[in-house]
Amino acid sequence: MDRPNFLFFMTDQHRADHLGCAGHPVLKTPNIDTIAAKGTRFHNFHVAAPVCMPNRASLLTGRYPSVHGLRYNGCQLSYRASTFTQVLQAGGYRTATIGKSHVQPMTDNPPEQRGDPAALGLIDEAWLDDGEDYGHETPERYNGNDLYRFKLPYYGYDHVDMVTGHGYRCNGHYKQWLRSQSTQADAWDDPRNQLPHDYVCPQAVRTAIPEELYSTSFIRNRAIDFIESSKHDGRPFFAFISFPDPHHPFTPPGKYWDMYDPADFSVRLPYEAHQNPTPPMRWLHARWKDGKRVSGGQEAFMANEGELREAMALSCGMIAMLDDAIGAIIEALQSSGRYDNTVIIFNSDHGDYLGDYNLLLKGSIMLRSITNVPFIWSDPQDRSSRQAHALASTIDLAPTIIERAGLKPYFGIQGRSLIDNLHGGGRSRERLMIEHQDSMTRMGFPEPCTARTLVTEEHRLTVYKGESWAELYDLAKDPHESCNLWDDAAFSGVRTRLVEALTHEMMTNTDQSPRGRRSA
């Protein structure tokens, strides 16, 4: 068989349990379920970092954020970083990213100041500026009507249809196209121009953007165009189809707005269900009860049951729309005659608390709801349906794709190939690490949070820089992480063993690249 094509679907802020095939009691995702029915669905797949940019860079590089350098939102992935898409391109693949890339800043928000500028010398950074342009995802580049073009390849992609932002306020090439379709394109950015509704959930916006002009439809259409253009191209292709949804704000357009009834959803884990909430949980709860919560931006917050039900229903509406789009793209792939030699992948960059302990969005509380994401691999070599329970990480995807393409990885890649696990065998990880480094002081931490998490099949350990408290959960008995065992004397041995294991995992994942040029 010829080298396979790859169709990689990525969603944004999408929990592992929010799929029909994952047993969600309300949400229907027939097209994603079909991918799972003809492939391997992983139950224990975790992100390398539970935030958009660091994890997306880890996907591209197969390396942890502390190593590739994009440690938190607002940094950029250096052009010097090797990516699996560069390997594919060098190996003769046609490569495309269609939708949300997010490996460069996509806002013009100023960063939080770190350190005292007056204390810095004539050289103010440990690494010198490389002089490269890292502004290709910022809004001002797309203000004009003429299509914004930049130097390609872009991190190994020779075709780019850029979508930045979230919900009803997406930008990039999409926004330039939207302006060509409607004189209302910029007016739709203003929430005062939304359609009437009676929802009270923060960040619920009933956008006036028609379904066919919404970002999900743009990405669907551009993906279909790319597949059509590949029909007569002799090269295999890799297409990264990346949807900004269901990331907040909660803005499903048209029929998807009220496709799901909030009354059909339940809050299974209220704040009171946690036996010993951590300090950031207590801080957020106090802010909520005191009427001081901040609920309009990117920061996690707590909400009441009615607000949470609305958020759940609207999130499911957004997922339903992207499921329909995925179905249309796969149908186009089948019509093109290339389905029988195409690996189809479904994944997300991180999850959402989405009601767990009354929380919404994501943050520095390392619950499974934000670290455990969907991962499905459907391979033309074997379209059998399988369930995999092996521990796996975002950093494993780069070496897996490289191996399946019949190519070899670069030195310094930290993930391990999952090829054997995909077919029901292979060696499983005993543990994996998740990194988190915040860029802002929030959630009650005295400084931007830095945390390291160790996940095994039985436990989750999280240690926070500078804090005397930590988290330890027995996942076998407490899968919802409702009882922190860090201070439980009966688990002191487990605690010691896991802290030691985390230390070894951190040492194992220090950078080994570049290789030395001499022996001494």
pLDDT at 134 over 80: yes
Query: What's the pLDDT at 113?
Result: 67
Q: For 335-368, write each residue's pLDDT tens digit.
A: 999 999 999 999 999 999 999 999 999 999 999 9
pLDDT at 425 over 80: no
Instruction: Please write down the long-range contacts of 55-58, taking CB distance under 8 Å and 24 or more positions apart.
Output: 55/349, 55/350, 55/394, 56/101, 56/102, 56/103, 56/349, 57/81, 57/103, 58/394, 58/395
Residue ranges and CATH numbers for the domains of the chain are 5-109+132-429 (3.40.720.10)
Query: What's the pLDDT at 437?
Result: 97
Tokens of 340: 């029988």
> What is the rounded distance in angstroms from the CA atom of residue 472 to the CA atom of residue 482?
10
Backbone torsions φ then ψ of 108, nearest 5 degrees: -110, 20
The per-residue DSSP string of 463-515 comes to: EETT-S-EEEEETTT-TT--S--TT-GGGHHHHHHHHHHHHHHHHHTS---SP
| Average pLDDT across the chain, whole number | 96
pLDDT at 127 over 90: no
Query: What's the pLDDT at 405?
Result: 98
Q: For 292-330, write each residue's pLDDT tens digit.
A: 999 999 999 999 999 999 999 999 999 999 999 999 999
Cα angle value 47/98/39 (rounded, 5°): 55
Confidence of residue 122 (pLDDT cuts 50, 70, 90): confident
Q: For 146-160, write each residue's pLDDT tens digit.
A: 999 999 999 999 999
Q: For 78-116, write each residue's pLDDT tens digit.
A: 999 999 999 999 999 999 999 999 999 999 888 776 667
Query: What's the pLDDT at 1?
Result: 56
pLDDT at 370 over 80: yes
Cα angle value 333/335/340 (rounded, 5°): 60
Q: For 177-193, write each residue's pLDDT tens digit.
A: 999 999 999 999 999 99
pLDDT at 75 over 80: yes
Q: Which of 231-235, 394-398, 417-421, 483-487 has the lowest mean pLDDT?
A: 231-235
Convert 308-326 to b/e letters by CB count within 10 Å (16 or more is b). bbbbbbbbbbbbbbbbbbb
Query: What's the pLDDT at 120?
Result: 82
With pLDDT > 90 as the criterion, what percentage of the chain qualifies? 91
